[in-house]
């Protein structure tokens, strides 16, 4: 896509009625899905020698977990991944203590984030929100609210392209365009990145690390992302609590009506299990 300077980008978005799109003013509106049809922005040229990554493994790793647990009750696959990719500061599960972490993927807005933020504020919980450029451009007020209320904003890439399917130079653009957008619009410097679709390779991990980012995957996720096929709230709550474990990094999708509904009980349920629903402190 054509690159345009950031100041011009913002002007064009305002003139084109970006703020009047469905879901931007009506928190109950349903927007749709993630799109890569967003204007690109200029970022400074880099002196990074991308050839340095050519010796690293370019094969796609699609993150997923088996059911085996280690002696601390943590998912064995996540513990092994922590060890395997430690050199790149990639995190798949937290320390084996009583802290658990709530992270939300926000690719687009489905009307649930305001209520999620209300619940987090009421329960005094800080979460991580991994956002895309689409989300930021369509929902600046919600992003500002996340920042103002003490949450962590994470980089979920500019276009939500799977990192292993594009060149390492394009991965750089995916990360740094969103980095520049948050810096310019909110004066906020992100330090966490979650690869789209949980797909990564050794090259992308190394690049993110070089750029000062910690790659954050997850140690628990469930089928919550299909807005047309939402899980039963009672069953979902039970599943989320049954799978609690030391250092759990929960992946929740903010588009999920079920997640919005069960969040208060999930937080209280985790606390009753003697877990601290903690602010992310693994970097």
Which residues does the annotation mark as catalytic? 105, 253
Can you tell me whether residue 244 is helix, strand or coil?
A: coil
CB-CB contact of 108 with 33 (8 Å): yes
- Residue 25: pLDDT above 80? no
- Residue 57: pLDDT above 50? yes
Q: Give the helix/strand (H/E) hosting 175.
A: helix 168-186
pTM (predicted TM-score): 0.89
Q: Tens digits of per-residue pLDDT, 230-240?
A: 999 999 999 99
Q: Tens digits of per-residue pLDDT, 88-109?
A: 999 999 999 999 999 999 999 9
Q: Tens digits of per-residue pLDDT, 258-279?
A: 999 999 999 999 999 999 999 9
Question: Domain spans of the chain?
Answer: 78-277
CB-CB contact of 162 with 143 (8 Å): no
Say which CATH architecture domain 78-277 belongs to.
Alpha-Beta Barrel (3.20)
């Amino acid at each position: 896509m054509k690159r345009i300077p950031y100041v011009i980008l913002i002007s064009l978005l305002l003139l084109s009625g970006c703020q009047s799109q469905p879901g931007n003013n009506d928190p109950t509106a349903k927007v749709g899905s993630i799109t890569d049809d967003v204007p690109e922005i200029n970022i400074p040229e880099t002196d990074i020698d991308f050839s340095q990554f050519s010796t690293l493994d370019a094969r796609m790793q699609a993150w997923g977990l088996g059911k085996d647990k280690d002696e601390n009750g943590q998912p064995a696959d996540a513990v092994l991944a922590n060890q395997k990719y430690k050199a790149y500061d990639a995190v798949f599960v937290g320390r084996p203590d009583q802290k658990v972490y709530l992270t939300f993927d926000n690719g687009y807005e489905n009307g649930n984030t305001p209520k999620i933020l209300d619940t987090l504020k009421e329960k005094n919980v800080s979460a991580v929100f991994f956002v895309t450029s689409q989300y930021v451009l369509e929902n600046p007020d919600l992003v500002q609210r996340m920042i103002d209320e003490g949450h962590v904003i994470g980089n979920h890439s500019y276009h939500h392209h799977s990192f292993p399917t594009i060149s390492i130079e394009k991965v750089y653009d995916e990360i740094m365009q969103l980095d520049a957008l948050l810096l310019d619009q909110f004066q906020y410097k992100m330090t966490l990145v979650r690869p789209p679709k949980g797909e990564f390779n050794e090259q992308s991990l190394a690049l993110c690390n070089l750029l000062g980012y910690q790659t954050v995957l997850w140690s628990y996720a469930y089928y919550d992302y299909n807005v047309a096929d939402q899980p039963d709230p009672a069953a979902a709550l039970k599943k989320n609590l049954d799978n609690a474990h030391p250092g759990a990094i929960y992946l929740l999708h903010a588009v999920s009506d079920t997640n919005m509904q069960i969040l208060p009980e999930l937080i209280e349920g985790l606390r009753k299990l003697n877990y601290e629903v903690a602010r992310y402190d693994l970097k």
